[in-house]
């Protein structure tokens, strides 16, 4: 069988076709040769309840036999009604009686949230409130409007001419605070910056602020301090700005609470969800509206100016309901927290001291490993080393499926990170395999990259660099002069030689 199909437009044409996966069960997937891989990223933050769950498979078959499709714009169906009711039970209580708009993917949900947030203001006579403020290094989807709200530089660049002129504030990235502050002595400038931007644009022009409560694929598992979202909520209220929380990754228990925003006990105006809502068994996403939001439309034009053909189709909604029931029946949100705490602790113990692991962070089972060339300076690896991709490939060869976080978490261009988001049903033995394999892969890739590096930061067989005597734990070779600067050699008094990376 040829390695790639001539009929598929692959996202990456510069590499061999991805391995063909033919089957999945529990936390494992299997390729066409029968080799198994531990799916430590749940597809891409999707497969929360595991692969091949019989209860869901039966629901699919029963529902397909009964009614696979009816168009929600003209008629209703039972699964849609039941799933909307279930989501009302799942939503933060402050949202009141929620109503839910269904669609097929996260970008659709966020685009719907944008339109509904604007319509909310429109219904109330505030037609000028059109601007949505987002955050850099956030991702809300790949349509033009969602790319514009998001701040993923790599994917925005080519399509810039089409993007709406939406402003962004910096992310709450304490590990590398954009203002150079340290929490808690920072006065939460990152949250208060929202006020500054709203005032500059004019509150009368701002419809909404959108954020991933805990950042996903663009800046894996970066979570702001406890004060952040309460401040954001207050600012939104002050300027009549709707707060949209994009829970496409963080929702449905991924972070050990039903919703990521629950960690801050803040009430959003719109929650968007997708991915784990169906756990990958069928395309499904949703925008859940706070009572006040849908009421504005209900007591105004009474027409939601937005719709998708597959939105609320009975098959996907039946799947969503079965998945939520399964999560409740097996108490999987609690499990996500417990296994997340264990996995995070084990990763921190195993890799916390590796010189190229800058930070291991996570909330529940959304975990990120930020890789750095030097832990002291937090200098990133040179971009063309492709460290993230190589760690992903090295892990894959060892039977571990992880995801490379989007390049550019530091400034849109540089920065390496790994995403782990395994199914909540993982066991201790899987945890051990993940930790061991990822650690080996990182060590191998960095050692390969540097030739002279050794695991653990000890470079035994190489001569110490004479110009690097001031450096406590680094040594260098003459060839390393093309590498980035060693933190310890920055002082000209200590080190006359340029560019030593030890």
Ligand X SMILES: Cc1ncc(COP(=O)(O)O)c(C=O)c1O
Indicate the residue among 340 and 355 with the shorter CB distance to ligand X. 340
Report the Cα 455 to chain-centroid distance in Å: 29
Sole binder of ligand X in the list 27, 112, 248, 333 (CB under 6 A): 248
Core vs surface per residue 58-91: b (16+ CB within 10 A) or e: ebbeebeeeeeeeebeeeebebbebbbebbbebb
Which one of the spans 242-250, 369-377, 474-482, 492-500 is the region binding ligand X (CB under 6 A)? 242-250
In whole angstroms, how close is the CB of 495 to ligand X at the nearest point?
A: 43
Stretch that binds ligand X, among 47-55, 80-88, 103-111, 290-298 (CB under 6 A): 103-111
**Would you say 409 or 486 has its CB closer to ligand X?**
409
| For helices 106-123 and 291-298, angle between their N-to-C axes, nearest 10 degrees | 60
Least distance from C-beta 275 to ligand X, angstroms?
Answer: 6
Rg (CA), the chain: 24
CB of 108 to ligand X, least distance (A): 7
Find the binder of ligand X among 39, 111, 246, 269 (CB under 6 A). Answer: 246
User: Structure tokens of 13?
Assistant: 């044409």
Beta strands in 154-313 (DSSP E): 168-169, 206-211, 242-246, 270-273, 285-289
Strands (E), 294-443: 357-363, 366-371, 400-401, 403-404, 416-420
Indicate the residue among 285 and 344 with the shorter CB distance to ligand X.
285
Give the shortest CB-346-to-ligand X separation in angstroms: 25
Residue 445 near ligand X by CB under 6 A: no
Nearer to ligand X, 217 or 487 (CB): 217
| Subset of residues 250 to 309 that bind ligand X, contact rule: CB under 6 A | 274
Instruction: Provide, rounded to whole angstroms, the least separation between the CB of residue 261 and ligand X.
Output: 13
Q: Which of these segments, 135-143, 161-169, 342-350, 407-415, binds ligand X (CB under 6 A)?
A: 135-143
Residue-wise over 470-490: b if at least 16 C-beta within 10 A, else e?
ebeebbbbeebeebbbbbbbe
Nearest alpha-carbon partner for 111 in 285, 241, 320:
285
SS3 63: helix
Residue 140 interacts with ligand X (CB under 6 A): yes or no: yes
- The residue within the footprint of ligand X, chosen from 131, 186, 249, 365 (CB under 6 A), is 249
Sequence length of the chain is 502
Given 26, 43, 106, 423, the residue binding ligand X (CB under 6 A) = 106
Binding piece for ligand X, criterion CB under 6 A, among 47-55, 209-217, 304-312, 383-391: 209-217
* Whole-angstrom distance, CA of residue 412 vs CA of residue 151: 8
What is the distance between the alpha carbons of residues 275 and 342, in angstroms, rounded to a whole number? 24
Q: Tell me the C-alpha distance between 410 and 372, whole Å.
A: 11
What DSSP assignment string belongs to 446-457? HHHHHSS--GGG
| Residue number, 84 or 277, with CB nearest to ligand X | 277
- Applying CB under 6 A, the site for ligand X has a residue count of 14
Q: Does 216 bind ligand X (CB under 6 A)?
A: yes
Contact flag: residue 107 with ligand X (CB under 6 A): yes
Chain residue whose CB lies nearest ligand X: 106
Neighbours of 384 (CB within 10 A): 6
Q: How far is the CB of 8 from ligand X (least distance, A)?
A: 18
Q: How far is the CB of 100 from ligand X (least distance, A)?
A: 16
Report which of 260, 261, 289 is spatially closest to residue 102, judged by C-alpha positions: 289
Binding region for ligand X (CB under 6 A) out of 13-21, 102-110, 227-235, 299-307:
102-110
| Identity of the residue, 249 or 371, whose beta carbon is nearer to ligand X in the bound complex | 249
As a whole number of angstroms, the longest Cα–Cα distance in the chain is: 79
Residues that bind ligand X (CB under 6 A): 105-107, 110, 139-141, 212, 216-217, 246, 248-249, 274
């Amino acid at each position: 069988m040829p390695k790639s199909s001539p009929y598929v437009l692959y996202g990456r044409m510069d590499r061999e076709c991805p391995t063909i996966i033919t089957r999945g069960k529990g936390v494992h997937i299997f390729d066409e040769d029968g080799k198994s891989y531990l799916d430590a990223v749940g597809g891409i933050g999707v497969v929360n309840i595991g692969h091949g769950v019989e209860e869901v498979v039966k629901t699919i078959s029963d529902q397909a036999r009964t009614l696979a499709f009816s168009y929600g714009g003209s008629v209703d169906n039972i699964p849609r009604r039941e799933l909307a009711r279930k989501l009302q039970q799942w939503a933060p209580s402050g949202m009141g009686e929620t109503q839910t708009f269904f669609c097929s993917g996260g970008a659709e949900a966020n685009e719907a949230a944008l339109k509904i947030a604007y319509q909310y203001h429109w219904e109330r006579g505030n037609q000028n409130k059109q601007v949505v403020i987002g955050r850099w290094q956030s991702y809300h989807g790949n349509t033009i409007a969602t790319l514009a709200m998001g701040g993923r530089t790599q994917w925005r660049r080519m399509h810039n001419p089409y993007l709406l002129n939406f402003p962004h504030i910096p992310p709450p990235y304490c590990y590398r605070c954009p203002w150079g502050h340290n929490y808690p002595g920072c006065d939460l400038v990152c949250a208060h910056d929202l006020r500054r931007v709203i005032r500059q644009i004019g509150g009368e022009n701002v419809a909404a602020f959108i954020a991933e409560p805990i950042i996903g694929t663009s800046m894996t598992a970066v979570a702001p301090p406890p004060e952040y979202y309460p401040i954001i909520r207050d600012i939104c209220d002050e300027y009549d700005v709707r707060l949209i929380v994009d829970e496409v990754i963080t929702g449905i228990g991924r972070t050990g609470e039903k919703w990521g925003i629950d960690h801050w006990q803040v009430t959003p105006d719109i929650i968007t969800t997708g991915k784990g809502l169906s756990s990958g068994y069928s395309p499904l996403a949703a925008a859940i509206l706070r009572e006040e939001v849908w009421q504005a439309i209900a007591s105004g034009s009474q027409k939601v100016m937005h719709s998708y053909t597959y939105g609320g189709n009975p098959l996907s909604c039946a799947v969503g309901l079965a998945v939520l029931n399964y999560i409740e029946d097996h108490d999987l949100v609690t499990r996500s927290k417990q296994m997340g705490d264990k996995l995070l602790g084990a990763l921190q113990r195993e890799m916390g001291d590796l010189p190229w692991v800058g930070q291991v962070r996570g909330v529940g089972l959304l975990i990120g490993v930020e890789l750095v060339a030097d832990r002291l300076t937090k200098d990133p690896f040179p971009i063309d080393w492709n460290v993230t991709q190589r760690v992903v490939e090295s892990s894959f060869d060892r039977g571990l499926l992880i995801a490379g976080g989007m390049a550019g978490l530091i400034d849109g261009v540089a920065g390496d990170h790994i995403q782990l988001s395994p199914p909540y049903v993982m066991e201790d033995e899987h945890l051990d395999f993940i930790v061991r394999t990822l650690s080996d892969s990182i060590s191998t890739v960095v050692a390969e990259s540097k030739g002279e590096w050794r695991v653990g930061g000890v470079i035994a067989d190489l001569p110490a660099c004479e110009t690097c005597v001031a450096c406590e734990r680094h040594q260098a070779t003459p060839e390393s002069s093309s590498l980035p600067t060693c933190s310890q050699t920055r002082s000209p008094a200590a080190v006359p030689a340029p560019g030593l990376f030890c």
